[in-house]
Amino acid sequence: MSKTVFAYSKDRFTGRKIETLNEALKFKGYSVVWVNIDGFEHLDELKEVFGFHDAVFKAIVRSKGRVKAMMFEDYLFLLLYQIYELSGGLKREKTAIFLKDNFVITIQERAGDVFNPIRESIRKGEGLFREKGADYLVFALLDAIVENYIPMLEKISSRMEELESRILKGGDRDTLRRIHGIRREILFMRRTIFPLLETFRKLEIDGRSFFEQETRGYLDELHEHIMEVLEVVESHREMANGLIEMYYSTISMKTNEIIRILTVVSTIFIPLTFITGLYGMNFRYMPELGWRYGYFASLAGMLLIALGMLYYFRRKGWL
């Protein structure tokens, strides 16, 4: 697993891979030093170099879906989750963020993240990164994680619109299966995002000392951003439930249509069955039994009865 360092000040920048975390200390003369670690194999080295408490490492290793914000005397620790769309559905990945002095340390389960736009901005000197401190970088990292939820929700929305069209055209069991799959993804995202509300509020209240006055305003905006994302999630969840109701309503309508047709057919055959049953009793002295045209007359009578009933049903709007 790789370790990289991005160190920058207003007028200079350097970025490179490092072999040991001790090498990162050589860049402390820069305004901000961002150390990114892929994998959790270097936690002991991190503890030795930066002196972090055991509690944060236990949280990283043991936490299963729990978001955390822990404030210590000289550093801040955050544990949250990035969400990725991989084969087989959505997956989430632990992301730990430390803020200590001018050092920002991020630890991820695997290589690849949503921070590449931030890296490019730092490398090219775009935006406010070179002018701001490490606290602003922490805000930007949190904002990138939250912002990454938006395109996933948009994809889910597009898929639901497609499924809605399929339902209106006549959905099948595969359509229902896909709706339930989307609903599970929405609930998965909600369970991941909702705890961020409390975490960011705690960050605003208990972690204010780690952020400059201007950056605190950005944190307020981040909290509002989470609220907006959750509103979208709730809207999507209601839409998914609506699709399920629409599916069963469509199936019910199709079933009712089939029952209606069968009822009409059965109703038409009731008098025909009566006639055939009546003349099937085989009594010797029944009328018309000896009539030469009796068979054809009975068929014609049954046909007229059927056509008359169909005409009546259509006039009533039942067909």
Structure confidence by residue, pLDDT tens digits, 40-49: 877 888 888 8
Q: Is the pLDDT of residue 106 over 80?
A: yes
Split at pLDDT 50, 70, 90, the class of 303 is: confident
Q: What is the pLDDT of residue 99?
A: 92
Q: What ranges in 148-172 are assigned the alpha helix state H?
A: 149-170
User: What's the first-to-final CA gap in the chain, in angstroms?
Assistant: 70
Measured between alpha carbons, how far is 82 from 103 in angstroms, rounded to an integer?
21
pTM to 2 decimals?
0.78
Give span(s): CATH 1.20.58.340, the chain.
Answer: 148-256, 257-316
Give the residue range(s) of CATH 3.30.460.20 domains in the chain.
1-127
Backbone angles phi, psi at 304, to 5 degrees: -65, -40
- The Cα–Cα gap between 31 and 102 comes to 6
Among the residues of the chain, which ranges form H helices? 43-50, 54-62, 116-124, 134-147, 149-170, 173-193, 195-206, 213-278, 294-316
| Confidence tier at 104 by pLDDT (50, 70, 90) | very high
Is 173:96 a contact under the CB 8 Å cutoff?
Answer: no
The pLDDT value recorded for residue 278 is 74
What pLDDT score was predicted for residue 91? 84
What's the pLDDT score for residue 170? 75
d(CA 235, CA 91): 21
Buried b / exposed e over 2-13, threshold 16 CB at 10 Å, is ebbbbbbeeeeb
CATH superfamily, domain at 257-316: Magnesium transport protein CorA, transmembrane region (1.20.58.340)
Exposure letters 87-107 (e unless 16+ CB within 10 A, then b): eeebebebbbbbbbebbbbbb
- CATH code assigned to 1-127: 3.30.460.20
Share of the chain above pLDDT 70, in %: 97
pLDDT score recorded for residue 67: 84
Residue 1, pLDDT score: 60
pLDDT band at 205 (very low <50, low <70, confident <90, very high): confident
> Which amino acid type is present at position 165?
S
Residue 147: both structure tokens together: 């912002």
pLDDT at 165 over 90: no
Phi, psi dihedral angles at 127 (to 5 degrees): 70, -155
CB atoms within 10 A of CB 266: 10
Domain topology for 148-256: Methane Monooxygenase Hydroxylase; Chain G, domain 1 (1.20.58)
Each residue of 166-190: pLDDT tens digit? 888 876 788 888 888 899 999 988 8
Q: Given this model, what pLDDT does residue 88 score?
A: 66
Q: Give burial (CB, 10 Å; 0-12/13-18/19+) of 272.
A: middle
Q: Are 279 and 286 in contact (CB under 8 A)?
A: yes
Q: Please answer whether residues 179 and 247 qualify as being in contact, where contact means their C-beta atoms are separated by less than 8 angstroms.
A: yes
